[in-house]
Amino acid sequence: MRFYTKQHKYYRGIDLHTKKMYVCILNGIGEIVAHRNLNADSRAFLEFIAPFREDIVVAAECMFTWYWVADLCAREGIPFVLGHALYMKAIHGGNSKNDKIDSHKIAVLLRGGALAQAYVYPAKMRATRDLLRRRNHLVRKRAELFSHIQNTRSQYNLADPLGRIAKPQNRQGLVDRLDQPSVQRSIAVDLEMIEAYDRILVRLEREIIKTANEHDALSYNILKTIPGVGKILAMVMLFEIETIQRFPSVGDFVSYARLVKCAKLSNGKRAGSGGNKIGNAHLKWAFSEAAVLFIKGNEPAKKYLDRLTQKDNKGKALSILAHKLGRAAYFMLKNKVAFDQERFLSH
């Protein structure tokens, strides 16, 4: 958990919504000098802040509308702090809650150095990262259609399995294998949607790969040297990490990627673990997928996994492998070196 501790003359807390923002400004001794509900637009923001521009810092909670505030502050040269939503929930909870109270609490936390920070992802890469996340969302929707087709086959107990219908050639004559017209129509709709998704995804991937190469072709190609990590997983890792320099240590990185469990200790005793929702879910998915694909067709990796499985179950062994791949990726990006499987499996 990182806190913002720099001192300023004024501190502005914003409870931000789609159309409105409740704003509270404190001075250096904690007195409220301005407190008002404003329209959520750039002009209102700058007009309200004008009397305090000489030395002010702005803070808002991390929720889906923060992009424009961060970009506006960057253009105007105003320090901006993004509050970590889950940490802030634990810190400023109370019986009474409304926009006015929340904006004041954010300003108080900011002034007191107790505002837990989230990472302000740079605007230059942010849109492409969101596009990549959207691409992965569409892939999951496409996978749901495949599952529905396979489940329909089970419902009607077709004698022969459908095979790998993810391949277009295996979908030939699929509708004709079902008898009832309504069922045939249902499967035909699924297939039409899958074909539409296929066309969209091909275009998206081409555009994102081009952007990845323009952003950091070296890091992108380094990540692809990990066995099983192809263009998609490498892009997810690259855009979710942004730059490895923002992580002071490998421990910070694997914690951010949700590859370790955070221990809870009190009076020298362990009380389970926590923080399961804190960190980057997309990196967790990428390294978990990488662990499964790493052993595919890789005999030395399979033997390594078997050794891990002797101590723990296979699920735990794959989690350990994902954690190890995360650590390897950190040092690969930091030192600009390719993946060394012999060294990786020897530890």
Q: Quick check: 266 pLDDT over 80?
A: no
Report the SS3 class of residue 133. Answer: helix
Angle formed at CA 82 by CA 87 and CA 251, multiple of 5 degrees: 60
Q: What is the pTM of this model?
A: 0.83
Average pLDDT for 48-61? 93
Q: What is the mean pLDDT of the chain?
A: 89
Whole-angstrom distance, CA of residue 157 vs CA of residue 2: 56
pLDDT digits (tens, 9 = 90+) for 81-139: 999 887 777 556 667 778 898 899 999 999 999 888 898 999 988 999 999 999 999 99
Identify which of 28, 31, 32 has the alpha carbon closest to the alpha carbon of residue 9: 28
Going by the DSSP 8-state scheme, the letter that residue 243 receives in this structure is -
Nearest to 283 by CA among 331, 242, 337: 242
d(CA 180, CA 177): 10
Q: In terms of Cα–Cα distance, which of 206, 187, 228, 220 is closest to 332? A: 220
User: CA triplet 234, 237, 241: central angle to 5 degrees?
Assistant: 145
pLDDT of the residue at 265: 64
pLDDT exceeds 90 at position 292: yes
CATH superfamily of 10-118: YqgF/RNase H-like domain (3.30.420.140)
- DSSP state, residue 84: P
Residues 148, 154, 155, 159, CA torsion sign: positive
